[in-house]
Structure 1
Amino acid sequence: MDPKAAVRSWLPAGGSARRLVAASFVDSLGTGLFLAGSALFFTRALGLSAVQVGIGLSLTGLAGFLGMVPTGRLADRIGGRNAIVALYLWRGACFVVYPFAHEPEVFYVVAFLIGVAEWGGGPIVQGIVGAVESDTDRVRTMAVIASVRNVGFSAGAVLASLVLAMNSVTAFSALVLVDALTFFAAATVLSRLPATANVRSPRAGKGGAPPTRVRDPRFLALAFLNGVLFLHSVLLAAALPLWIATRTQAPTWVLGALVVLNTALVILFQVRLSGGADDLRNAARRQRWSGWCLAACCLLTALTAEVGPVAATVLIALATVTLTLGEIWQSVGAWRLSYALSPPQSRAYHLSVYELGTSAASAVGPALITWAVAGKGLGGWAALAAGFAAAGSAVVVIAAAAQRGLAPDEPDEPREHAREPHESTRER
């Protein structure tokens, strides 16, 4: 097959979805540039201490947690397209200021403002996908976006390594400004989305105002359990590297190899494994599979402390594969569950509430899991395995109750009200 034709068939057919994919790639390319050089930028270009950098990054996470739901509510009011363009412009402006934030107080303020826009954008993008794609295409489109983001992160990191080799403060600051330009470019791409991407919630007196809070405890429980499963990100970023470096005989190159393996597998299989989660029951099963895979990852990792370097390397590779499968199935299940249970009139708000689970996991997960691994050793890994398996199984039970709670004539996934004319015919 012609490579161009293969890429076209892999991408979503609709123009709106492709704009979202393009903007996500540009965003992730710049973010990969920044993340690869952020440590040197903060310490060498801004002259901040490690403690000050840690405080700023914690403020970024706190801002995301506090601002996510209000941002989602705002998106329902002004429309998803308007909201996401504003957030990208906001992030771009903050990154333009970053190279001048030499004072810790200024750095803290900028980091906090970035956190609001950084964490608030994900649910809004998912809401826009829900508005411009059909029920059967939404999860696949989200999977394409996730794959493209991984490609962008990797490409950005490679490009950053070439710049970092210059070992210049000016080069470090230039990476940040280039990242700012990518946010402005993404905003430009997204500003061309059609009116169907800018659906607003009805105002009071015109169909009723959107709910002021999520009242369904099953929705909140699923959001919490999704946050538990999302701890796979902490396993990859902190727990596995810490364990490998301090408790195994595996060679040090394994630390970088597991990240490369994880990224490659996500790029190759995220879209392929996104099919089949076409209703609440199948979506919940994906999250149960995720829990089982993450449990297997924990148990395989625990075994590495008792074997030699070759066996430890093999076990780490197997643990990385199971972790990646858990990551993919967690996200696939989460996309479908959150779409199915989010009313169209307040979709961005509900998706933001659902995303609080992952935000909380990102905030408390590193301390919790590193304590379990470093303090409890094999017992800690066993406890984590049991927790992941239990969380995945609980999703199936709660999702079944949510399925029964839907009206008999109500689909488990809201149907969109308007579509772009050309998107009704899929190009396959």
Structure 2
Amino acid sequence: MNATEKLAAVRSQFPVTKRMVYLDSAFQTPLSTNVRTALEEFYAEGHETAGPKSVWLRRVERTREQVARFLNAAPNEIAFTKNTSEGLNIAANAVPLTAGDNVVLIEGDHPNNAYAWLNLKRKGVEVRFARLADTEVATAATFASYIDERTRVVTLSHVTFHAGQVHELGSIGRLCKERGIYFVVDAMQSVGVVPVDVKALGISVLAAGTHKGLLVPQGLGILYVQDGLTELQPAYLAMSSMARPPADYIARPDDMETRHDACRFEFGNVNLPDLHALSAAIELIESVGVPEIQRHVLALGDRLIGRLDRLGVELVGPRERGQRSHIYVLALPVQKWADHFARNQVRVSPERGGIRISFGMFNTVDDVDRLADVIRDGLKEETSNAMAHVD
């Protein structure tokens, strides 16, 4: 089966495509049939057998292995969380920061990353914001002038939610390694759509939720912590965090050593239903391949930009292929256009610069053309209303 046939087969997994033009994967992806089936099978087991927890936990470890391969990590470098924000807060509280140390972020990046680090200002940690235009992509040069001998962390999103830039993580990772700085990445908008190789990119900690490119309902996150960073310690402890959890379930105050792997950041029970779903979702994604998914959404972006140019509609973010992926923000006033798209069964999101269009692997050129037709009709309606007002 070639790539086109694989993508067509994937589309059939998303019944939502028969009801609307779904262009909102940067908000959340719709449920695929195979993910729904995995969830139903999990609940059926719990319903019919009262929950074979030992079997479920073995499957969790299998899913951990799948995630590790997906990111080019080792299973012992993967922990499961609730969402991206929890993962970023785990990182912010795990890095050994002291008063006078500083952290560098991108101004205007996702606020949940900023708040995780701004919360440390009460401990005397300085937070610096590098400026970057919506059409620019961050590189090592973006951060270089903000870094000094007290910089301990550089952190940013791989792909921005509000303009769609795909930042150049490779050069930033090399800079951090040269300077002995932790490199913390929010991969919420990239994982599952853009290839992510944590080793090649020099990432220390990566956090992501699974309800966008990884196709799983909200409530599950993944956390990568580079092996060997044992100085990163959890702010909260549970029995599952300990190197030697007591077999008799009696806490040992004289044995507080935590695990050396990423599981020291897992607290108690994990989201078992979503982890079953994640295993099925990764299988679906890998049936096409992330590089092929990226090529597909880029081609849709090429077509979208061409149609927008003919309509005279501008983009907020970058146009160059190497700087964008699946997220495109159209410079259309939200107040006027959000309702227009909804009336025409086109699912999009309002964003700070206009209307955000975001592709998934299930989208097609027909979706782009339908979107363009809806925009054209809206522009005609605007012109007609303006002329009527003049009259």
Task: Return the TM-score normalized by structure 2.
Answer: 0.26
The structure whose residues are more often helix, as a share, is 1
Q: Which has the higher strand share?
A: 2
Query: What is the TM-score of this pair, normalised by structure 1?
Result: 0.24
